[in-house]
Amino acid sequence: MSLQRADFFVIGTDTGVGKSLVAAALLRHLGQERGRRTVGMKPVAAGTDWVNGRWCNDDVEALNAASNVQAPSAWVCPYLLREAMAPHIAAEHENITLRLDHLKACFAQLQTVSDSVVVEGAGGFIVPLNATETLADLAKALALPVVLVVGLRLGCLNHALLTAQAIRQAGLPLAGWVANHIDPEMPALAENIAALTLRLDAPCWAQIPWQGVALAAGTLPHVPFTLPLFDAPPP
């Protein structure tokens, strides 16, 4: 019997809080420890470098490396934008309109070749995609459980609680959250994690310690996820 699907939408409290790290680690966990066919999706990536004759984005490359299914790049990253800025602005500079129907179609294609698709957002939860729609609208359109990456630094309590509120107002389940220690000098670290644990009303799937130069060098640490099992076939 086929595995029950376990698809997730990974978003963050802000940009630079470790969404790619968590999404890639989750892909490897689902693939290596749960025996799933996994593929990552970056619906919109803004910021590229020309490498070996093609435009590359670090987030997309990290997802590809962590996936055990190699899907067409047009499905994995439907919109690969040159400039590293807000996606809707980068798209406007290239005369491109980011379309939810196209993103949904690409996601559906990825589902046909996998057991788990891990979708990584861009920036925060309500980042604009076009004149009328945001990343939250995409998450709603895909109807996926959300994994919230909390960058542990000053201000993270407000950012995390507001984001969790927005997720629930969108009618989506907050499946779990990951505490990522991105500021080595953050005071009262344990107390902040305790405050989030008390208030987020969702399980903490993992705590990632400060990575230092290892993270900057692109080394993917082992993340001991405590997410529920998704290996039973549907009833």
Q: Which residue carries 């995390």 as its tokens?
A: 160
Among 19, 42, 104, 140, the one annotated catalytic: 42
Residue 176 one-letter amino acid: G
| Residue 42 known to be catalytic | yes
Residue 54: exposure state from Cβ atoms within 10 A (0-12, 13-18, ≥19)? exposed
Q: Find the helix packing angle between 189-199 and 156-169, rounded to 10°.
A: 20
**Residues whose CB is less than 8 angstroms from the CB of residue 79 and which lie 6 or more positions away in sequence, other chains included:** 43, 44, 45, 87, 91, 96, 98, 103
Would you name the residues annotated as active-site residues? 42
